[in-house]
Amino acid sequence: MASSAQLLSGPYAAIVTDSSLCQDTLFFEVPALDSINAFATIEPATESSLGSITLDSLIGGTPPYAYEWDNGHTGPSLSTLEPGVYSLTVTDANGCIASFSFEVKLASGLNDISAQAWRLFPNPTAQKVYVELPSGEPAIVRLFDGTGQLALAQKSSGGAGRYAINLEQLTPGMYWVQAITRDGALLGVKRLVIL
């Protein structure tokens, strides 16, 4: 007899026969499980301090989650990290497994955009949010909805200062905002509430 844990997602029919040889057909569907997506803030190492990885959120899967880093740590964050790549395996309540790699870089100077803070304001907001980048480097800002689906992506014009993102086409709710440099370095992830 197959259990639901052995079935792939999709529609199924099962014929059930009782001891009197009466039969009935049951129709059911095993839903597809959401893949697990991780969003983290990575603080680079510098000449005077070690780096860190802080898991900001997990989207998808079924909580609770179990964490296992390649160094044996079992929490959602790592600190006092030398520059390098660190791997995380996340297992959800259904036994679904997702693996992620995060790189802690060595900040090479004051102009290293990955080592600088960025701002998102006002929060919560209704129609417009401002992104403030500390450097002249252009960045890509992506908004993900609560299910982890990409809702909006916008490239900054470059230049230090702030620029606006129009939110009028998005439905109210909680979103995750990710800022990425043009070379793919993650600046961080922030939560945004749209009213």
Mean pLDDT of the chain: 81
Under a CB-based contact definition with an 8 Å cutoff, are residues 69 and 78 in contact?
yes
Max mean pLDDT range (26-35, 38-47, 112-121) = 38-47
Under a CB-based contact definition with an 8 Å cutoff, are residues 178 and 160 in contact?
no
The rounded distance, in Å, linking the Cα atoms of 131 and 55 is 21
Q: What is the pTM of this model?
A: 0.47
Backbone angles phi, psi at 115, to 5 degrees: -95, 0
Under a CB-based contact definition with an 8 Å cutoff, are residues 9 and 31 in contact?
yes
For residue 73, name the pLDDT band (cuts at 50, 70, 90): very high
pLDDT at residue 6, rounded to an integer: 66
pLDDT single digits (tens) 167-181: 999 999 888 888 877
* Average pLDDT estimate for 77-105: 90
Burial status of residue 46 (CB atoms within 10 A of its CB: 0-12, 13-18, 19 or more)? middle
What is the torsional sign of CA 159, 106, 183, 179? negative
SS3 string, 67-81, reads EEECCCCCCCEEEEE
Evaluate if residue 134 carries a pLDDT over 50.
yes
pLDDT at residue 5, rounded to an integer: 56
The rounded distance, in Å, linking the Cα atoms of 16 and 6 is 18
